[in-house]
Structure 1
Amino acid sequence: MKKRMRARNQHLKRLLSLLLTVVMVLAMIPAAFAADTASGFVIGPYLLAPKTTSMVAVWETSGSEPTTIRFGTDANALGDAVTVERDPEAPAYGGVQTNIYRYKFSELTPGTRYYYEVALANGETSRGTFRTLEENPTEIRYISITDTHKFDTKATFDAAVADYDPAFIIHGGDMVEGTGTQKEQYAFWFNSGEFIHNYPVVYACGNHDFSDYFDMYVIDTQTEEYGSAVAGNISFDYGNVHFDLMDSNPWALFQMNAETSGGKMDAATADKIEKSVQWLKDDLAKNQDKAFRILVMHHPISDPYTKMHIAPVAEEGHVDMMLAGHTHSYARAVSDQPTVGAGTIYLTHQDSRAVSAKGSYMTHTIKDGVLTTQNMANGGVVGTTVTAVDKQQLAYSNVSIQSGPVPCNSEIEISATITNTGKGMAAAVIPVDDNGTIKYIYGDLESDSGLSTSGEPVRVSSNGVKTLEPGESIELSGTVSLTEIGKHTVKVADVSKDIEVQFRPATFSYTNVRTKLGNGEISDIGSDILNIKADITNIGNEDGTATATLYVGDEATLSKQYTLKAGEVKTCEFTYQFEQAGEFSVRIGDSAPETVYIEGSIQGMPMVVDQSGKGNNGYLHGAPTIGTDDKGNGTIILDGDKDYVEIPDNQNFTIDNGITGMVWAKLPVSEGTGINNLTPNGRDHNPLMTKGVSIGWGTNYLYRMAVRATGKVTVGIGFNNDNGEFFWNDDDADPNAGIKKGEWVQYVGGFDRTTGGDSYQNKYNSGHIDAPAFDSEIKNWPGASTYIGFSYTGALLTNRGRGVDRTMLAGEVSQARMYQSKLTEAEVAAVADAPSAAGPKSDDLVLWLNFDPKNIVQTGTHTTEWAEISGAPASLAYKAEIPGKSAIQATVEFSKDGKTVSGSKAFDLKTGENTIDLTGAGEGKYVRIVTKFTSNLGTEQTDIPVLYTYTLKAGESTAAWNTYADWAKGTFADGAGHQSSDAYRALSEDFDDYAGEVDEGKPVEQTAASSETTQTGSAATTETTTETKPEQPKEAGWDVDDSHWAAKTIRAMMAEGVLEGDAEGRIRPDDKITREEMIWVMNTMLGIQPKADTKLDAADRSSDWAYGALAAAKDAGILQGDEFGYLCGSDYATRAEIITMIARACKVSSDDRSVLDGFTDAADIPDWAVSALAGMAAQGSLSGYTDGTLQPNDQITRAEAFSLLYEAITVEAPAQAA
């Protein structure tokens, strides 16, 4: 390995020295080279710690002999040679001490170019040049870059640096591809181009970098030159600009590792974080006189720990710009605080590991109080950010403030055109003065955009705040709440308005909904019991009683009453049991809906028998097909989307000192396999073998062997400490290391505490890492499955016990093994040469899956619990999907005592929803069903049978199995199981925190529900909840006698589907009708669909189910509100209101008031209703009562309203209608 690296580095040195004579416009003498000997440059020389009067050069050699350095201001007349000895305290690598050399150029002249030459004992030389920092620069230029890793963009960057000619470069971390302990990988950066010899670089530590070697290469020198009260953190000035570089690993790596894996960070980490945060706070406080303050760290503002620890300090300390990386995805954001806005700008670099249209590095120019940052990709600008000394220079015009009066606790709408009058970017914000209290309108889900080099837009996520470039104008709107009764003077800029805030009756809002499945401390995704809470707030100015209602879909299922004082908040809770599986929207009152998933079906799940003797059998998920490898052995083919192998944890082994994982796989050559083909632009961390709950973020695994997007294999071990993750990658510089597409490869990753980690591919040692310095416990993750071709990935959702998303592997697999020790290189080779034999260290085998079909059990059973029945069995209804050659057989077993089978009968099931006649099938007091699943693995198609539901009827009793919670009461055997839909679901957040007390409410019997919904479940009985499921409704219209004067009209409307009745089937013809009930019927008759995603103000006094209908009627011009614009849906309607609604719907009106003179009470008609009633009278649709009255202000019955509507629409109604 060393010889290979040394030869490569010597070749690079010759090439780079040649390029130097071409690229640099300098009169430099070409470097001389001696014959190839044992000594040579390994790294560098490179430049550190730029100052006005000094600079430091560092280099590493393969030999330990003294070296010399010469320098001067004339390239052709360098000074005398100075001997430089190697650092005697440099760390060892592979048992051999590193040969690292440092030289400080001192007493230099500011702003002056110098030339230097480093010579080795064998005569080999390397030359470079640098310029010291100026004392009072009128222009400052620097470049920032992060996540260089294997640095495929190095040639472009090398040329760009020479062209831009910065004073220095900032590296924001992650210069290695694997870990900082893989010392050879620092060459990716330090041997990447001529710039490394000619431009100084300052560094922040990335999560891949930290190690003794990173300290040796960078931190030791930076600490000595700049000082460091907290290890890894430095600060320096250039001109009137202050720079802070921080090590963000203590919070964003160590604290994250500990807490996201269910533990707590240790005291040392907590102390380092506290000291780091205090250091930044103190350092910024001392530099408030600077024109700009630049903060650099690896982990960006989108990291929750960086946001928690750093954002408040950075913004209070007036950091102008924070530069970061880590996510490999360009982003721009401003402060979440409206008082800061774009005063602090957060830029996250795209990685420069690979070419991307979103950028790879940034240039920064400061001149005349303006900092201009350009995001660069392929040598072109793809985005510009400008910030100035003077922040948030905004002007306001076209200000609009909603008029009053409004009820107390109302949100009033405000909008304005905002113009950025400054020289730098600004965030759009409207400060609103409400009686001297400043409130802010800030944020609107908007993204910043750039332009790729191909001219296509590049969309990048921001934190939801609109930003304005200098001179740009936008319109921003939002609301502020008025929370006190009385006069409010509301001001925006020079516009003000007086708004009267009036008394609001008791009104209730429902917020902060929390859900939990099951009755444990945290949610159980296999449960069918929903526990749900919400906070009820009385936003009115008087005490009142709220009826909180749980809705499943749009159906009101359970209700409770709570009495609340004005402004009081109480917490309500419901428990509900689902009778079916599926996806359900649930809410309480007018709260935002939450989605819950109830697991359901069971299926065939072929079982791979473990050959190790440990009984760690594997189960095939999805529908993998089968094939053969190059030796004729059986294989499974994973599609990279749904197919994977799961080995449940039987907790029959523990990894303490060592582990080895092996997977024989052929990875795909062509696309279309479910992931992006394992190319450099493809998905990262494609799992060969994992054990744990998540990979790719933190240390939430015991073991991982996965394919990186680069095509190299990474192997990792999880330790129970703050560092946690100990991993290594294939040697990126080795063309023989990494996956071989279309070829069968034995992939191996092994580790122990003595020899470290080694990777092998077909016996070739593709990667190595020395043993870790710590001796922590290996975290075994008991209970977590081992997987082939699957893993959860991303941040750990602690309560769910999984990562936020999944990562898959496409390919063909013939065998997989795990040992509880590390196999040597010879032992790995022995297994590779005889893969059918147990091989060496067979006693340490804890998992051995051979995927030949002879080892795969394709049948399995599920047996339900015994269910007590009350009579002879009548029928078994079921729903099943049985494709191709698969099969399901149901055997109904009978028992007299619920223990011993007294009789049985088998039935073959068919695809679809079917019913089996059980008459005469058997007798007994108890019954259960044994279901046999037969899967069919094929070369072209694999058939997996799925069973969704059983419903067995016997006498007066019914037994049903619909949800996974139902099936889980029984037992599985061999090739049968449950495929969780949760495994394939990407999640944005963890289960809700369900802790906290609830308030007791008074249960209310449900008597009505929305006419368009059906029952989906029942209330679960608990110690504190006694709600019951509503009775099934009778036939609709049962309460309308044929003798009723409106019976004919009502029957006609029911026949047309306009009327359906309430939950009990009642029409209630002689009850009064509410405005929202009338609108629902009218919209239905006119074909007006409810408006989706509508939420009304609580002052609209409307039922949740009517929101969409009322909003649609308002949009159609049928419905208007009261004097305040509120729709008052639950108020009883008057005749004048109903007739006006009908007239508007029919577009009927008249200005001739004389047509109403025939009614004795015409003077009582409200002014707003006159034209509508006159229009209806003029066309003969309004006849009044027999006594000559119209009674416009009386409340109207449902029958009267229906008849008026039917007559207007159909021009025919019974004579009895008014």
Structure 2
Amino acid sequence: MNKNIINGPYLLDPHDTQITVAWETVASEPFKVTARAADGTEFFGDVCCRQEEPCREYPKGAFLYTAVIRDLVPDTEYAYMVSGNGEVAAASFRTLRREPQSIHLLTLSDSHLFHNNEAFKKAVTEEKPEIILHGGDISFGTGYQHDQYKDNWFHKISEILARTPVYYIHGNHDDGPFYDAFFAAPQGRTVHTPDGGNTFSFDYGPAHFTLIDSNPWGLFEMNAVNSEVPLDPETRRHIDDILRWVEEDLTSPAARRAKWRILMMHHPYTDSFNNRYIVPIAERCKAQLVLGGHLHYYVKAVSVDPKVGARTVYVCEGSAQDPEAEYTKNTGEKRLLSEFPEVVATGRSNYGILDVTEKTLTYRLYGFLENGSKKLVDTICLTHDEPDIRLTDIELRRLDNNGNVEIRALAENRGTAMAEVSISLFDNKMEHTINLFGNEENSQVVTLEPGEKRKVESVYQAMQPGEHLLCVGDTELRLVVFEPTQLSFAHMRVQPGRGESADCMVAGIEATNNLDHEIFVSVPLYINQRIAETKSLFFRAHEKRYIEFHYKFQQGGEYQVSIADQLPKEVSIEGGIRIIPRILDKSGRGHTALLHGSPKVREIDGHMEVALEQYGDYIEIPASRDLEAPQGFTGMVWANIERLARASEMGHNPLMVRGKSVGWGATYCLRMVVERTGGLKWGICHDITEYSWQGGEAKVGSWAQYTMTFDKKAGGDSYCDGQQLAHVAGVSAESEIRQWADQPIFVGYSYIGHVIPDIGRPKYFTHLPGRIGQVRFYEQGLTAEENREICENPEAEGPKREALAVWLDFRNILKVGTHTTEWRHPAIYNTSFKTQKKYWRFTQLKARTNLPLQAGLKATVEVSDDMATVKGSRQIVLKNGTNYVDLSGLPEAQFLRIVTEFSAEVGPDGTFVPELLSYQVVASNGRDFTDMFWSTRPDWERGRFTGAVGFPPVDRLRDYPEYTDVIHG
């Protein structure tokens, strides 16, 4: 083996008369590539060389060589050699057959760390595929890390790659120069491509393959949307160009001649942008199979359009990384993916075997077991025959006078391939196709394999008032439809206010007038099952309108909200105030941190630590423009990570994060997280690029200093106890590091997943189970020497003192505070009250609290006539729960305020904080009386806060099951 060769040789873009050989070297030298047939005939490759981008291992940049060997004989075995300076790398390949009647391929995606490599090599050896298709995400970190490709791909299956050609497409983790150097550029020399080898097509046997780079929308447009920035015009043009080329390719003479049209890209059918861009093209151009990856589990779907059905099948391959083999078929009870009724199976798989003849396409999905053996997960069989679904035992049953009819039938697939069940119903001779079955909320597509039977049921509504004759097959039902319900409702949304409107809520719904004439109706808003408001509205015949309620709450808390006949949704209105212990900042910059939850704070062996044990335990460094670091920064966390995430928990456990999400978009400024496998992930985002990298393993069960530093010019570096773990190159001076200055820096907590526009955050959150010993943040990137000096002397200020913006002092935690309400008049203040000496009597205080035994709350009720002089006061020690206090001993007055003293306990037994939920004061004036409330955020904010009193965060420990967000790699 040539010692200069560091990766390869590996094979690309096979044909019947040519193939591409590629290899990577440390240094450039003259190479020769020779292919020799069994009869001794030699063929020489056309060699070219390209220098790569510099990286940590090769600061001057390694060299990528390719050799295209042409004029070969089809279906022939060749031994080939790559020779240079007298040394040789040798292997063999077989050219493709010319116009074969059948083809045999292997597919995989998301190989990442590729722990399955040994089992995969065995599977390839057994299957002997002519071509391998890789659906992207070779890297586990980023395409800006050279070692990711060397360690996770080339060195793990080098013998396979030297003998079996592979086609590659971009994954989101592959974005960067090294994927381009290894795969896109060499492919681009010979494939049919519009963009240099990222998107391309080829024909083999009875199939036309179109491989699409979905990153421009699945990564970059998604990043822009999640990052709340406009997509740049260049990327928009690139997306339009790719989509235009794909449709032209699928309608080309070659594609039209092919018996099968197969699409492959990294992002799956369920990706919102793929669903918007690729699905219409695939179905319009009659592609039969669309392959994706990215989700790390298996998904099988068909078209939701009954005219297409299972003529187009969508498959998301599972991850090839770890052994997994599972299968779940839809049963009709609940959708497998809530927003995709057309998903008919899910599971886990590692690779696929694709066999294609002129008449059939068979796709077998396999997973590996822990012992390395393979297990068949699913088989998809397609033919060109028309679907043949037979319906028997058909029943039509009237449900009400509004035209709702239940349809039941036994469906049997008598065809030769998987088919989607659909029912043709004739309503007064007008045909309606029904392909969603089950209850409305979980209605779903049903597919049957050849010979399979299944009972299906659905509901059809005859809309027009009058007589109807419904026919399904030979089964008929006559019914009279009365005038329908005036209004029907759908798509109810409930959104709490923020800031000054935190005591408000917006609730909206779409209403439809189902009648043929105008109506004037009232639509009710329900709060906790009681009518809170109504809107009287005029609707024209069959008008559809969005109705919106704006409601102001008097008290904070949890409320059930519904409109008209819809099921209620829960809304949280910010209410109480509490002690949130403040960790003081030794940097001198005043970036006091908040201690959330009930963590233990203790001293062990002379060092302070904060134990984050529960999901609500974490540290928050509040958002501040003073923490912006446009040229670079450094984050440091001393931590003892006690365990990794369990299978039932979210991964990406956060050491330090700033941004709207820990991933899935350019949604963060900095990221230091622990994968559920123990690997460490790091990253920044610049412009609309998520610039992340992988490196190192967490020291589970022992203390370590974890550091991430980034500088635009020097790049990014990661360290554990001063030892460098990973490095990525810098970015251009014009690039803008996303600051997310309106977001806190979290230690031990983060949101995770895609940002959902309706709620302005991801669906999920993630937590770090561990102990924190020290936290620092610098507004500059530190060098390895500077980081090592701080690691070795953690109690000292260390270098770059001027850049140190946060240095938390766990010995100095503020745990007391005071809230003083504004002076409040019981009713609208009228100056005549003062001249007439018409005073108010304050008779009772009702206070609601959450008060642990270790914490305290003291209230002083004060009254005044001029909001300056206290006329009288009453001191109260509040207890846990609801307190009723007699205030009749206070003198009559014009104004009242309440001063509340809070005290918490923070120590080795945990953090115990008092929470004041509400005050209610009853005031009377002659025959009139009123209630004065302090119970919502705007109520409290009209007063004055001192010390550690503040508002608990809203919804940080809540998931939103009503939204679909598939967490993936």
Same fold (TM over 0.5): yes
* SS in structure 1 at match of 2:787: helix
* SS in structure 2 at match of 1:311: helix
Deviation at 1:79, TM superposition (A): 6.0
* SS in structure 1 at match of 2:959: coil
Q: Pick closer, same or farther for the CA change 1:885–1:186 going to 2, 3 Å.
A: same
- Structure 1: which amino acid aligns with 2:302? V
- Structure 1: which amino acid aligns with 2:240? E
- Aligned position for 2:344: none
Where is the strand percentage greater, Structure 1 or Structure 2? 2
Partner residue of 2:131 out of 146, 163, 168: 168
Deviation at 1:309, TM superposition (A): 0.8
Q: Does the aligned pair in 2 maintain the 1:505–1:542 contact within 8 Å?
A: no
- Aligned position for 2:388: 393
- Aligned position for 2:840: 871
Distance in 1 separating the partners of 2:287 and 2:223: 28
Q: Pick closer, same or farther for the CA change 1:903–1:817 going to 2, 3 Å.
A: farther
* SS in structure 2 at match of 1:208: helix
Q: Pick closer, same or farther for the CA change 1:441–1:583 going to 2, 3 Å.
A: farther
CA RMSD of aligned residues (A): 2.7
* SS in structure 1 at match of 2:247: helix
Deviation at 1:798, TM superposition (A): 3.8
Partner residue of 2:606 out of 613, 632, 636: 632
Deviation at 1:864, TM superposition (A): 2.2
- Aligned position for 1:968: 941
Distance in 2 separating the partners of 1:556 and 1:462: 29
* SS in structure 1 at match of 2:701: coil
Distance in 1 separating the partners of 2:484 and 2:221: 49
- Structure 2: which amino acid aligns with 1:217? F
- Structure 1: which amino acid aligns with 2:824? A
Q: Which has the larger radius of gyration?
A: 1
* SS in structure 1 at match of 2:905: coil
Deviation at 1:594, TM superposition (A): 3.1
* SS in structure 1 at match of 2:697: coil
Q: Pick closer, same or farther for the CA change 1:773–1:211 going to 2, 3 Å.
A: farther
Deviation at 1:294, TM superposition (A): 0.9
* SS in structure 1 at match of 2:762: strand
The farther-off stretch of 201-210 and 280-289 is 280-289
Structure 1, gaps ≥5 residues long: 1-32, 447-460, 731-736, 992-1218
Deviation at 1:572, TM superposition (A): 4.1
- Aligned position for 2:520: 545
C-alpha offsets along residues 221-247 of structure 1, whole Å, 9 cap, x if unaligned?
Answer: 222211212441110111111101010
Partner residue of 1:811 out of 752, 766, 770: 770
Partner residue of 2:456 out of 476, 492, 498: 476
Confirm or deny that 1:688 pairs with 2:655.
yes
Deviation at 1:391, TM superposition (A): 4.9
Q: Does the aligned pair in 2 maintain the 1:952–1:959 contact within 8 Å?
A: yes
Deviation at 1:157, TM superposition (A): 0.4
Alignment of 1:206-245 (within 5 A): 206-231=171-196, 232-245=198-211
Deviation at 1:804, TM superposition (A): 1.9
Q: Does the aligned pair in 2 maintain the 1:549–1:589 contact within 8 Å?
A: yes
Deviation at 1:708, TM superposition (A): 2.1
* SS in structure 1 at match of 2:224: helix
* SS in structure 2 at match of 1:195: helix
Deviation at 1:349, TM superposition (A): 1.6
Partner residue of 1:643 out of 617, 630, 634: 617
Q: Pick closer, same or farther for the CA change 1:860–1:526 going to 2, 3 Å.
A: farther
- Aligned position for 1:1002: none
Deviation at 1:760, TM superposition (A): 0.9
Q: Does the aligned pair in 1 maintain the 2:713–2:733 contact within 8 Å?
A: no
Alignment of 1:867-1016 (within 5 A): 867-869=824-826, 871-899=840-868, 901=870, 903-921=872-890, 924-955=893-924, 956-987=929-960
Confirm or deny that 1:110 pairs with 2:89.
no
Which structure has more relative contact order (CA 8 Å, sep 6+)? It is 2
- Aligned position for 1:574: 549
Q: Does the aligned pair in 2 maintain the 1:487–1:498 contact within 8 Å?
A: no
C-alpha offsets along residues 764-819 of structure 1, whole Å, 9 cap, x if unaligned?
Answer: 01110111257321222232111111111111134643222111111100111111
Confirm or deny that 1:200 pairs with 2:168.
no
Distance in 2 separating the partners of 1:370 and 1:969: 73
- Aligned position for 1:350: 318
- Aligned position for 2:49: 87
Percent identity between the aligned chains?
Answer: 33
Q: Pick closer, same or farther for the CA change 1:947–1:506 going to 2, 3 Å.
A: closer
Q: Does the aligned pair in 1 maintain the 2:712–2:733 contact within 8 Å?
A: no
Deviation at 1:134, TM superposition (A): 1.4
Q: Pick closer, same or farther for the CA change 1:170–1:891 going to 2, 3 Å.
A: same
* SS in structure 1 at match of 2:174: coil
Partner residue of 2:35 out of 71, 88, 94: 71
Deviation at 1:476, TM superposition (A): 2.0
Partner residue of 1:495 out of 452, 474, 480: 474
Confirm or deny that 1:442 pairs with 2:435.
yes
- Structure 1: which amino acid aligns with 2:631? N
Q: Pick closer, same or farther for the CA change 1:786–1:989 going to 2, 3 Å.
A: farther
Deviation at 1:80, TM superposition (A): 5.9
- Aligned position for 2:686: 719
Distance in 1 separating the partners of 2:406 and 2:270: 31
* SS in structure 1 at match of 2:213: coil
- Structure 2: which amino acid aligns with 1:728? W
Distance in 2 separating the partners of 1:434 and 1:288: 38
C-alpha offsets along residues 1124-1181 of structure 1, whole Å, 9 cap, x if unaligned?
Answer: xxxxxxxxxxxxxxxxxxxxxxxxxxxxxxxxxxxxxxxxxxxxxxxxxxxxxxxxxx
Distance in 1 separating the partners of 2:515 and 2:727: 69
Deviation at 1:990, TM superposition (A): 8.2
Deviation at 1:486, TM superposition (A): 4.6
- Structure 2: which amino acid aligns with 1:338? P
Q: Pick closer, same or farther for the CA change 1:422–1:898 going to 2, 3 Å.
A: farther
Confirm or deny that 1:420 pairs with 2:410.
no
Confirm or deny that 1:326 pairs with 2:294.
yes
Q: Does the aligned pair in 1 maintain the 2:44–2:69 contact within 8 Å?
A: no
Q: Does the aligned pair in 2 maintain the 1:606–1:975 contact within 8 Å?
A: yes
Confirm or deny that 1:466 pairs with 2:446.
yes
Q: Does the aligned pair in 1 maintain the 2:394–2:475 contact within 8 Å?
A: no
- Aligned position for 2:336: none
Deviation at 1:918, TM superposition (A): 2.7
Confirm or deny that 1:54 pairs with 2:18.
yes
Distance in 2 separating the partners of 1:153 and 1:976: 53
Alignment of 1:755-1154 (within 5 A): 755-773=714-732, 775-798=734-757, 800-851=759-810, 854-869=811-826, 871-899=840-868, 901=870, 903-921=872-890, 924-955=893-924, 956-987=929-960
Distance in 2 separating the partners of 1:147 and 1:317: 27
- Structure 2: which amino acid aligns with 1:739? A
* SS in structure 1 at match of 2:625: coil
Q: Does the aligned pair in 1 maintain the 2:27–2:62 contact within 8 Å?
A: no
Distance in 1 separating the partners of 2:657 and 2:443: 34
The farther-off stretch of 920-929 and 545-554 is 920-929
- Aligned position for 2:149: 186
- Structure 1: which amino acid aligns with 2:492? V
* SS in structure 2 at match of 1:265: coil
Confirm or deny that 1:708 pairs with 2:675.
yes
Distance in 2 separating the partners of 1:372 and 1:122: 47
Deviation at 1:323, TM superposition (A): 1.1
- Structure 2: which amino acid aligns with 1:257? N
Q: Pick closer, same or farther for the CA change 1:403–1:682 going to 2, 3 Å.
A: closer
* SS in structure 1 at match of 2:189: helix
Q: Does the aligned pair in 1 maintain the 2:851–2:879 contact within 8 Å?
A: yes
* SS in structure 1 at match of 2:585: coil
C-alpha offsets along residues 584-605 of structure 1, whole Å, 9 cap, x if unaligned?
Answer: 3322222343332223322221
Deviation at 1:390, TM superposition (A): 2.6
Confirm or deny that 1:126 pairs with 2:89.
yes
Q: Does the aligned pair in 1 maintain the 2:559–2:570 contact within 8 Å?
A: yes
- Aligned position for 2:338: none
Q: Pick closer, same or farther for the CA change 1:292–1:765 going to 2, 3 Å.
A: same
Deviation at 1:501, TM superposition (A): 4.3
Q: Pick closer, same or farther for the CA change 1:725–1:78 going to 2, 3 Å.
A: farther
Deviation at 1:430, TM superposition (A): 1.5
* SS in structure 2 at match of 1:111: coil
Confirm or deny that 1:608 pairs with 2:583.
yes
Distance in 1 separating the partners of 2:453 and 2:758: 45
Q: Pick closer, same or farther for the CA change 1:99–1:534 going to 2, 3 Å.
A: closer
C-alpha offsets along residues 298-354 of structure 1, whole Å, 9 cap, x if unaligned?
Answer: 011111011011111111111111111111122111112121111111111221222
Distance in 2 separating the partners of 1:505 and 1:788: 56
Deviation at 1:688, TM superposition (A): 0.9
